[in-house]
Amino acid sequence: MYQFVTGPLAWLAFIIFFFGLVLRIVLYVRGLDWKLDRVTYSVNVSYGIKGAIRSIIFWIFPFGTRSMRKNPVFTVMVFVFHIGLLITPVFLLAHNVILEEKWGISFWTLPETVSDILTIAVIVSALFLILRRIALPEVRIITNAYDYLLMVISTAPFITGFLAYHQVSGYEFWLILHILSAEVMLVAIPFTKLSHMVLFFLSRGQLGMDYGIKRGGMKGYNLSW
């Protein structure tokens, strides 16, 4: 079982993840239409690029925008959630040990207490985000089961990994569940709105181009996000 989930299944998951995301990017870009979108993507390019970069940069740093500054707690939680989500798996010691064993490569690694804290942070911030969905009427009305499912898919690898690492009873069981849930997540990313992992940049970039070209950018105005 372990052989299977870490072997062929893992390969399959990574391939689907990678090519799936590439496909999402290609489809997105191919579906852009300068006339329908009313943005001259291939004319006024320098303005477009500038607008796109501004739009991404301001939104990728905490409190870079008025929207985030107005919602400080939420902003912190979303950033904590994502930092844990993205950093932990890549720089986790245990993952790098496996990489080293298999392919002889390894990244810089996190001290284990740090990765432990990050994992807990992911789980706690996820809990916060779930409670927020229930508590706030303006979020509740737009929330559906799919949102919770995605939360489960995103956090399951962390919960199971945490349990496996701390060797609660049934290490083997949690480990396999951990690997499976991570594979589910990888496969889910291109096919669900977790695809925002790349579409965030494309969508933000697109709106940035709109502002950078048509909505004032060519007048030399730098929109304050």
Partner 1 sequence: MAEGTLCNRKMINTREALLELLADKSGKLYYEEMNQLDVQTNALAETIRATCKSRIRTWLEICTHCGLCAESCFFYLANNNDPKQVPSYKIQSTLGEIVKRKGNVDNAFMQMTMDTAWAKCTCCNRCGMYCPMGIDMGVMFGYLRGLCFSQGFVPWEMKIGSGMHRIFRAQMDVTVEDWVETCDWMREEWEDDYPGLEIPVDKKGADIIYTVNAREAKHYPEDIAEAAVLFHLAGENWTVPSEGWELTSLAMFAGDWEACKMQVETVYDAMYRLNPKQMVATECGHAYRATVLEGPYWAGLKTGKPPVDSIHYVEWVADALRTGKLKIDPDKKIKEPVTYQDSCNYIRSGGLSDAAREIMSYIAEDFREMTPNREHNFCCGGGGGLNGIGRYRQERNAGLKVKRDQILASGAKLVVSPCHNCWDAIRDLEEVYEDGIRWSFLKPLLLKMVIVPEHLKPAESEAT
Residues contributing to the site for ligand HEM (CB under 6 A) = 78, 82, 85-86, 129, 147, 150-151, 154, 185, 189, 194, 196-197, 200
- Binding span for partner 1 by CB under 8 A among 12-20, 96-104, 107-115, 196-204: 196-204
Q: How far apart are CA 67 and CA 207, in angstroms?
A: 16
Spatial separation of the C-alpha atoms in residues 87 and 80, rounded to whole Å: 10
Residue 40 or 147 having the CB closest to ligand HEM? 147
Say whether residue 202 binds partner 1 (CB under 8 A): yes
Q: How many angstroms separate the CA atoms of 153 and 200, rounded?
A: 19
The verdict on 50 binding partner 1 (CB under 8 A) reads no
28 interacts with partner 1 by CB under 8 A = yes
Quote the least distance from Cβ 200 to partner 1, whole Å. 6
Which is it for the CA torsion 117, 80, 96, 10, positive or negative?
positive
Region for residue 220 given its phi and psi (left: phi exceeds 0; alpha: psi -120 to 50; beta: otherwise): left
Amino acid at 33: D
Binding mask 204-223 toward partner 1 (x if CB under 8 A, else -) reads: xxxxx-xx-xxxxxxxxx-x
Q: Are 109 and 93 in contact (CB under 8 A)?
A: yes
Among 34, 107, 171, 173, binds partner 1 (CB under 8 A): 34
Residue 40 in 3-state DSSP? coil
Q: Which residues bind partner 1 (CB under 8 A)?
A: 27-40, 43-44, 55, 59, 66-68, 70-71, 74, 78, 133, 136-144, 147, 193, 195-196, 199-200, 202-208, 210-211, 213-221, 223-225
